[in-house]
Structure 1
């Protein structure tokens, strides 16, 4: 936007309120050099840039201003803190109207795949940060992330505060390169955990921004497996929203740099799911075989973000892929076996698997068994506070309508309506 168009936009915003603005190019240059616009001018600035007035926080100039045109901070040598700030701002729900396009995420994945982290930069005039304090943040963050799902619904504010603290330390603290690497790794882990919380609540834009921030931090820490894992989460979200082309593109990039067998197994499993959803049978079966092979090779020293991956996950996701490919009988068998193999501690995953099992029963025209699985999933999801599982069951309800007289179906519909 030229200076003339920007000033004209400000005048137009004032005129819509039957007011006049004295803004000219000289005043804009003062704003650019650090002078704070008054509250009314900030509203006019937002509208001149094409943003709604309600995003303005006059006491937080210029932090409320969007950093990018498409919502994604470009990957670069100094991009981790801006990406974290963008995620934290988005989470304040002033900009939930933003969506991140699949093409923007695919470009970001390509940038990550083709670039290496540069030397870390840090503030030289901030307060020194010691190893003990970083260890405290690492330990408490790890403990919060490891809580059972039923307790995690109470930890969002604590995780948000931890991530905000780490972001402040990265931006303003004074630390050694070794501490800097630990802080970036911690930021990546926290951003990934917070993203899953937002995703489970259906806050997709905020989840995307946290995953993007996690990718930047993992890149700064030169942790390729972590970066691949975060891209895998963005792909999972894209597939969840039925944007399988974006999911496949992101996963293909992620696999170029993932090294740990457990990481590669999870990425291949997600690739199999999205390929099967597009009807690509042979590539999907190859990805399933690769996922099984890598899981067999996975050692005990897995990255924390994929330490949970087990034969249960491979069985259920393989079953879901086969269901999309039309192999109903084998799919149903694998989904049932996988749900039974799942450890008791993974209640949220159990709720998702039960919903998958209900779907496979419906495909097999067994509404009674489907209703039983869906009811169990719904009750479990409500108890532990897992709205994504609740939504999975509610999405199945139209498929139960032809079976309203079958055993268990009226009770399920009544339970879902309660």
Structure 2
């Protein structure tokens, strides 16, 4: 997809990411015409918003990332819980980039609970491993160690134990 290639800086004052994302939005709005790119067949506005959020996060623009991720979460169909868990993971990363540890912890907890609810180990592993690594450098913050423990408590081989409620946040 062309959006990913736009996730870099090239010319000062001419943001290639904004151009690439605008083009992707235009292509998505065109719908499923014969001349539309193939990715339009499986992409939604929510998917595009989360990809935009990830681009802005990678470019160290947390305000733009937060806005795009919030938009994506608002547009996401309720049944797409695995995608919601990943979006929340990205939003936690964005909160960390903005030095908002409380928001990062809250999104981490919700992402883990959402991933647990999906019953899919791949989603849970991705969310847990990504967030554990991101929060470890912030262990000195009061709310981080319980959240790290919560993530560690989800390690288990059985599906039934992955679905148990998580410990309460402190």
- The normalised TM-score by structure 1 is 0.32
Number of aligned residues: 148
Q: Does 1:410 align with 2:138?
A: no
- Residue of structure 2 equivalent to 1:294: 27
1:241-256 correspondence runs (5 A): none
Deviations 1:207-255 (A, max 9, x none): xxxxxxxxxxxxxxxxxxxxxxxxxxxxxxxxxxxxxxxxxxxxxxxxx
1:5-404 correspondence runs (5 A): 267-272=1-6, 275-276=7-8, 279-280=9-10, 282-299=15-32, 307-384=41-118, 385-404=120-139
- Residue of structure 2 equivalent to 1:219: none
Q: Are residues 330 and 284 of structure 1, via their aligned partners in 2, closer, same or farther at CA, if it must alter by over 3 Å? A: closer
SS in 2 for 1:343: coil
Distance in 2, Cα, partners of 1:375 & 1:329: 21
Alpha-carbon shift at residue 318 of structure 1 (Å): 1.0
Q: Are the aligned partners of 1:378 and 1:390 in contact in 2 as well (CA < 8 Å)?
A: no
Runs of at least 5 residues in structure 1 that lack an aligned partner in the other structure? 1-266
Distance in 2, Cα, partners of 1:351 & 1:386: 12
Runs of at least 5 residues in structure 2 that lack an aligned partner in the other structure? 154-170
Greater relative CO (CA pairs within 8 A, separation 6+):
2
Give the superposed CA RMSD.
2.8
Q: Are residues 356 and 333 of structure 1, via their aligned partners in 2, closer, same or farther at CA, if it must alter by over 3 Å? A: same
Q: Are the aligned partners of 1:318 and 1:331 in contact in 2 as well (CA < 8 Å)?
A: yes
Alpha-carbon shift at residue 312 of structure 1 (Å): 1.4
